[in-house]
A = this chain, B = another copy of it.
Amino acid sequence: MSEPRKFLLDESEMPTHWYNVVADLPTPPPPPLHPGTHQPVGPDDLAPLFPPELIAQEVTTERWVEIPEAVREVYAQYRPSPLIRARNLEQKLGTPARIYYKYEGVSPAGSHKVNTSVPQAYYNKINGITRLTTETGAGQWGTALSYACALFDMSCEVWQVGASFDTKPQRRTLIETFGGTVHRSPSRMTESGKAFPEDHPGSLGIAISEAVELAAQDPEAKYALGSVLNHVLLHQTVTGEEALKQLAKTGESGADVVIGCAGGGSNFAGIAFPFLREKLAGNQSPRIIAVEPSSCPTLTRGEYRYDFGDTAGLTPLMKMYTLGHDFVPSTIHAGGLRYHGMAPLVSHTVHEGLIEATALHQTECFEAAVEFARTEGIVPAPESSHALAQARREALEAKESGEEKVIVVLLSGHGLLELGAYDQFLSGRLEDDPLSEDDLQAALAGVPEIA
């Protein structure tokens, strides 16, 4: 056998703690503000929505948070996810770069989202909660939470963004197979939903408002968010911690480039923050790049300001890159990266210049995804294809310069439930739809003025 392609970890090497980047940041991130008073949010403000352990994780400045044993047992069913050297792809591109992808599609629900749905369900369960509500865009998060609720015998209600609900019945079926219930958003069940016409294509912001509204009304229910918040990003660091150990096993001294796609920011933070720690400590010096779609260019064209996480203004105000909380992204875009904001921690690190951001057109991303499928055998999620397209750019640059770059890319999930988008691409029916300057300015006009 020639050189190995797949790198795993022994049971003794599996991460026992999540990593909290706040402990190592040169400057502290700005606090979230109460939507009414505009004062910093305290734990009590979050109590209607989240159990105490998650609130504690949201505000902690400790570097390490222990992963509960019950969660590690579930992780052990599918983790460590493999780190795989993309030798076939390297050969196809003719690049001297070495490309390693960390593949989260091996999880039960097919994406990285399970890394946080399981602990979120667990902490709610031990607090006596019987019902979780949430939103889902492309469907990955709703699937992951439905699975986690099945494991802990809780009910799960998912508001699926209308445009996604209408075009992806398989996603609804998958959520139902795991035992969850799906509502098209905007629904008629909430005031937040009724503010929009029934046939509105919806948005993540609207769906979040609906799920939050319902959870706040039922003392046995809580809300679960699949991205953006600190505790969600914390749970995702299991991928980066594994990747650091796996990369060490390859014999590489470190990464030169670390790449993830960014919608709400959680899969990106999961791979980025552990590498950022090593960079801040001087152990490695990778460029760390967040890749977003040109149709929803939050980090690259949004403004760094306080804004709501949802459309109805029910969530705390967060300091983040935002396109405006009533931004409704083009339905033409296939990916699930259609959120108006960006995780405050990711926004902060980008604003501080610790992390780069770039935006790509989706046709370039699908081209990279098909090439990846034909060389590495995995059909990437459209979201993940953004990271692959950037990796491809880096690899082709390395080919020009002759540089032996080490590229680490997070492949956040598979695209087996997104084959409709692949069909559109393969038949030439997929178009790019970058955000126009007029639409951008109109959306930004909705961001509240905070003194």
Closest to A105 in B: B106
- Select A4's contact among B76, B178, B419, beta carbons within 8 Å: B76
CA distance A420 to B72 in the complex (A): 33
Contact of B6 with A8 in the complex, beta carbons under 8 Å: no
A151 part of interface (Cβ distance < 8 Å): yes
With A1-B76, A174-B379 already in contact, the answer to whether A374 and B179 are too (CB < 8 A) is yes
Q: Does A39 contact B (CB under 8 A)?
A: no
Residue of B nearest to A370 (CB): B177
Q: Is A422 an interface residue (CB 8 A)?
A: yes
* 10 nearest A-B pairs in the assembled complex, by CB-CB distance: A108-B377, A150-B374, A170-B419, A173-B419, A173-B423, A416-B416, A177-B373, A177-B422, A179-B374, A173-B422
Are B109 and A77 neighbours in the complex by a CB distance under 8 Å? no
Say yes or no: is A417 at the interface (Cβ < 8 Å to chain B).
Answer: yes
A2, CB-defined interface residue at 8 Å: yes
The yes or no answer to A176 lying at the interface (CB within 8 A) is yes
Binary contact readout A155-187 vs B (1 if CB under 8 angstroms, 0 otherwise): 000000000000001100110111100000000
Task: Please encode chain A, from 54 to 82, with 1 for each CB lying within 8 Å of some chain B CB and 0 for all others.
Answer: 00000000000000010011001110000
Closest residue to A14 on the B side, CB-wise? B1
Q: How many copies does the complex hold?
A: 2
Q: Name A's B-contacting residues (CB within 8 A).
A: 1-2, 4-6, 8, 11, 69, 72-73, 76-78, 84, 88, 106-110, 147, 150-151, 169-170, 173-174, 176-179, 370, 373-379, 416-417, 419-420, 422-423, 426
User: B110 contacts A426, CB within 8 Å?
Assistant: no
Known: A374-B150, A378-B108, A419-B177. A76 touches B170 (CB 8 A): no
Q: List B contacts of A147 (CB < 8 A).
A: 377
B residues less than 8 Å from A11 (CB atoms): 1, 4
Measured between alpha carbons, how far is A78 from B82 in the docked complex, in Å? 9
Task: Give every chain B residue within 8 A of A176 (Cβ-Cβ).
Answer: 422-423, 426
Contacts of A150 in B (CB 8 A): 373-375
Q: A268 CA to B173 CA in the complex, in Å?
A: 28
Closest chain B residue to A79 by CB distance?
B6
Question: Do A178 and B373 touch (CB < 8 A)?
Answer: yes
9 contacts between A and B (CB under 8 A): A1-B69, A1-B76, A2-B73, A77-B377, A110-B416, A169-B419, A173-B423, A176-B426, A177-B373
- Cross-interface CB contact of A177 among B106, B110, B426, cutoff 8 Å: B426
**Is there contact, CB below 8 Å, between B73 and A5?**
yes
Do A420 and B170 touch across chains, with their CB atoms under 8 A apart?
yes
A4 vs B174: C-alpha distance in the bound complex, in angstroms?
Answer: 27
Contacts of A426 on B, CB cut-off 8 Å? 173, 176-177
Q: In this complex, what residue of B is CB-closest to A150? A: B374
Tell me, in angstroms, the Cα distance from A376 to B8 when the chains sit together: 21
- Chain B neighbourhood of A423, CB < 8 A: 169-170, 173, 176
Residue of B nearest to A69 (CB): B1
Judge whether A109 and B419 touch: CB under 8 Å.
Answer: no
The closest CB in chain B to the CB of A414 belongs to B416
Which of B73, B107, B178, B374 sits near A1, CB closer than 8 Å? B73
Give the residue name and chain of the B residue nearest to A114 (CB). B377
